[in-house]
Amino acid sequence: MKKNKLVSLLTRWEVFLIILLALMCLVFNLQDATRVASGEARRDVFNVANVVRSMRPYMLYSFMTLGMMLILAMGDMDISVGAAATLSVVVLGVTYNALTTAGLIGLPALILSLAACLLVGSLCGALNGFLVTRFKELFPMIITLATQLFFRGFSYLLIGGQTLTFDDETFDLLKELNSLTDMFGIKVPVMLPIFLVVALVFYFWLHLTGNGRKIFAIGTNAIATQYSGVRVDFIKFWCFVVAGLMSAVTGVFFVGATSSSIKADIMDGYHMYAIAAAILGGFSTDGGKGSVIGAILSLIIFAVMKIGLGTLFGFADSAVNLSVGIILILSVLLPNMVNKWRDALRVRRRRSEVSKAA
C-alpha cells in the first residue's frame, strides 16, 4: 500500500514540474561555472532575487492563465481572451478620456474607468458563455475565434489606429502595478503577491469545493454530469464570465507596464501564452484534470528559462519561445506515457492478485 502511494506521488504532474525546474537550475548553474572556468566573468544572475524579478513579463498574462484554467478544466477552449483584454483596456482609455473631458478628474475618474474595464471583460466572457451553451453544435474554439475577431474589430472601431496616451498623475498610478516592491529583503514585482492571493482563491475554489469538482466533472464527461443533476450550462457560462474578467485584469496590468499607452492591437497572441502556461501546468484540452499549483510552477519555469537561455546562453527571445514549444510538446507526450505506465502497473498488479487467489 505504501509502495502504491509512493508511485502515485512520484507520478504527479507537479512533481515532474519540480524535477524539470531543478534540472534547469542545475544546467544553468553548470553553464555559469563553465564560463568562469574558461576565464569569463561570472554572471551570477541565477539566484532567487533575479528569478523573481524576471517573472515580471510573465506576470502580465498570469491572471489570464487563471481564467484559462477554468475553460480547459471543462474541456473547452477560449482563444478570445487576448482580444477581450484589448477591448477592456480600450474602453478603460476611452472612458477615462470622456470623464476627464466632462470635468470629472482625479481618482473618481480612474475608479469608474477601471470598473468599466472589468465590466466589459466580464461581458465579453458572458457573450462567449452564452454562445457556447446555446449553440452546442459549434466547437467553442470556433465560437471564440469569431468573438476574437469581433472584440478586436470593435476595439478598432472605438479608437481606430491611434494610440491613447495619458500623462496625468492619476492615470500614472497604474504604472505602480508594474513596479518592484521589497518583500523579505527581495525586490519582487507588485503583481506577484496580488497574483498569489488570487491564485489561492482559485486553488480553494477548484480543489477544495464542490463547485470546483463539478468543473472537473464536466471536463471528464459533460453528459454524465448533466444527468447527475449538475447545471452544466450554468457553470460553463459563469466560468467564461470569470475568464473574461481575468482578461480585463490582465489588461489593467498591461497598461501599467506600457507607460499608460493604449492601442487597438495590443496583447495580440496573449491567449497563446495563457494556454501554454495552463497546459504546462497540467491542464488539458480534453478537460477533467489540472492543478493551480502546476500553473504557478509553469510560470516560474518560464521565468527561469528566460533568464537562463537569454543571459547565460545568449539566446534571443525567439529561441526562448522555441524552447517553450518543445516543453509543451513534451508536456503533452509525457502524461500519455505516464498513463500507459500506470495502466500497465495496474494490469500487472491485478494479474498478480488473480494468480495468488487461484
User: Which region among 151-165, 185-199, 314-328, 344-358 has the lowest average model confidence (pLDDT)?
Assistant: 314-328
High-pLDDT (> 70) share of the chain, %: 89
Let me know the angle formed at the C-alpha of 281 by 48 and 61, rounded to the nearest 5 degrees: 70
Higher pLDDT, 29 or 291: 291
For residues 199-206, average pLDDT: 94
pLDDT at 203 (0 to 100): 94
Q: Which residues contact 273 (CB under 8 A, 6 or more apart)?
A: 58, 61, 64, 65
pLDDT, position 214: 93
Residues 6+ apart with CB under 8 A from 350: none
pTM of the model: 0.86
* Most confident residue range from 58-62, 105-109, 135-139, 184-188: 135-139
Say what the pLDDT of residue 2 is: 52
Q: Is the pLDDT of residue 288 over 80?
A: yes
Question: What's the pLDDT band for 39 if we cut at 50, 70, 90?
Answer: confident
- Distance (Å) of CA 199 to CA 187, 277, 291: 20, 14, 11
Mean pLDDT computed over 314-329: 72
Highest mean pLDDT among 115-129, 313-327, 333-347: 115-129
Digit-coded pLDDT (tens) for 110-157: 899 999 999 999 999 999 999 999 998 889 999 999 999 999 999 999
- In percent, the amount of the chain with pLDDT more than 90 equals 31
